[in-house]
Amino acid sequence: MRKLWLIFSQAVTVSLAAYFVIATLKPQWLAAPSLRNPATALSIQMAPKMVGPAAASAPHVGFSEAAKAAAPAVVSVVTSKSAPRHLRRSDPWFRFFFGDRESGAAQPQTGIGSGVIVATEGYVLTNNHVVAQMDDIEVMLTDGRQARAKVIGTDPETDIAVLKIDLDKLPVITFGDSNALEVGDVVLAIGNPFGVGQTVTSGIVSAVGRNQLGINTFENFIQTDAAINPGNSGGALVDANGHLMGINSAIYSRSGGNMGIGFAIPVSTARMVMESLIREGQVTRGWIGVEPRDLSPEIAQTFAVNARHGVLITGVLQGGPAASGGIKPGDVVTRVGDAQVENTAQLLSTVAALRPQSRVRISVFRAGKPVDVDVVVGQRPRPAGTMPSDLQPEEEP
């Protein structure tokens, strides 16, 4: 027994010594076969390249196909306006005191934005603030062609303008369904930021139905975090298929650049405005002549209103449609026709959708009681809009 134990201990000692020597001098001898083969080791780190039918079924990561489908139809819109000449510059006495130098004269205004070709006839969608009050408008395509553009019509209240160019074989974008967009959907913003050339950025839909921002009169914005900068105004917001979902219009910024909050006009709104401008040269909207205000608990207490929801009417235009129909200051509008209204944006949009000269029943809450009045809708005038400093268009100044 003692002899067997001695043999076992010596065998273990020799084996450990041999293992130590091999591990020190030839460690590769101890590696697993799969790791000794360089080709096999590489396959552990890198997935093999797929060929044949399997490669065709592999999922494609990226949105290059969407960009290729939409980008050719997105154009640059270059605008300019001649500098006004001083009326007294030809006056000899003016020239005597101030001289003939033109250094103090006003400089021509130039700008750059983007647009989207939406029809083979040459119609281009862009923003009103890109082309407003400009004398010369030129559209530049990605294929190098360029053409003077004619303004077909503008709608400041939605910030939409329609241009027309005379070129053949134009690339046309495909309209999408902006009403089907949901928060989290991937979108691409295509335009010409800062005039550097066509640029594609990606992001998601951050919110839908944004309103009461003070940007436009009629607001129903798609909010996105896709990078939008000056020059992107009028460009395309497309989905993962390259279909047009919106017209990029404004950004929230304190510095003038992208901060991850951009706003696009839904294509459903843009298309409706475009068709009206092409057909009639203007957008006809309903109007009743009231000054509305959102009904909050504080406002309800101030005006001694018992209604729980609706829009408070704080003023009525004398001789206007609402006054003629019997609406009074202090009334709370709860319904217009079949549509219930909860805030001023809903009231404005609902009334604007009505046809002028049509008759609509408006339900109001007056002195604690519901009252129905019939109003003959008028045609909405076109006021000039304003824009707060933090919410600005993205055109290049």
Catalytically active residues, by annotation? 129, 159, 233
- End-to-end CA, the chain: 101
CA atoms within 13 A on the CB side of 48: 8
- Burial of 152: CB neighbours in 10 Å, binned 0-12, 13-18, 19+: middle
The tokens for 342 are 């909860």
Q: Which residues contact 239 (CB under 8 A, 6 or more apart)?
A: 66, 176, 181, 185, 186, 187, 188, 245
Residue 248, classed as helix, strand or coil, is strand
Asked if residue 123 lies in contact with residue 149, where contact means CB atoms within 8 angstroms, the answer is: no
Q: Which residues contact 388 (CB under 8 A, 6 or more apart)?
A: 214
Phi and psi dihedrals of 382, rounded to 5? -110, 90
Helix or strand holding residue 363 (H, E):
strand 359-366
Which has the closest alpha carbon to 210: 248, 265, 286?
265
* CA 93 and chain centroid, separation: 53
Asked if residue 66 lies in contact with residue 239, where contact means CB atoms within 8 angstroms, the answer is: yes
**Any idea what the Cα angle at residue 271 is, between residues 270 and 273, rounded to 5°?**
65
* CA 258 and chain centroid, separation: 13
Torsion of the alpha carbons at 215, 219, 220 and 222, rounded to the nearest 10: -10
The tokens for 231 are 């020059």
Return the DSSP state at 217.
S
**Dihedral class, residue 226 (left if φ above 0, else alpha if ψ from -120 to 50, else beta):** beta
β-strand 199-210 against 290-294: which pairing, if any?
A: unpaired
The tokens for 372 are 């129905």
The tokens for 395 are 């055109």
Q: Cα separation of 148 and 138, whole Å?
A: 4
**Residue-level length of the chain:** 397
